[in-house]
Amino acid sequence: MHGQSPLDDPENARFAWARYRTIMKGMAAFSTVVVGVALGVLYFQIGFVSIHLYIASALGIWLTIMLMAALMGLVFLSSGTGHDESIEDRLGDEWNR
């Protein structure tokens, strides 16, 4: 199937990107809680070693979760709006042989 993407419609795009931002805000809050728990566990297991250990751990955990959320959010945005179905499949049946 070939046609225009539903994201070409400004109203659909506005709704989809608003939902994406909502997902990202929720994941940012969740990531912050996870970082707090992880830093607490780290402190109780090894005590205070260096502030740099805690900064690096916090950034590593938070950024990893946010990267995953951003990429999966884009997959959900693309699939949920019908954008994936609007592409032109030039290989068609040749790919299945």
Q: Does residue 95 lie within any of the structural domains?
A: no
> CA-CA distance, 36 to 62, in Å (whole number)?
10
Q: Does residue 5 lie within any of the structural domains?
A: no
- Per-residue HEC secondary structure of 53-87 comes to HHHHHHHHHHHHHHHHHHHHHHHHHHHHCCCHHHC
Q: Does residue 94 lie within any of the structural domains?
A: no
Q: Does residue 67 lie within any of the structural domains?
A: yes
Q: Which domain holds residue 36?
A: 10-81
Strand positions, DSSP E, 1-97: none
Q: Does residue 28 lie within any of the structural domains?
A: yes
Q: Does residue 90 lie within any of the structural domains?
A: no
**Tens digit of each residue's pLDDT, the chain (97 residues):** 456 766 667 787 788 788 889 999 999 999 999 999 999 999 999 988 899 999 999 999 999 999 999 999 888 877 766 665 666 666 666 666 5
pTM: 0.73
**Which pLDDT belongs to residue 51?**
94
Q: Does residue 86 lie within any of the structural domains?
A: no
Domain count, the chain: 1
Q: Does residue 23 lie within any of the structural domains?
A: yes
**Which pLDDT belongs to residue 6?**
65
Closest to 36 measured CA to CA, from 21, 73, 49, 28: 28
Residue entry with tokens 């068609």? 92
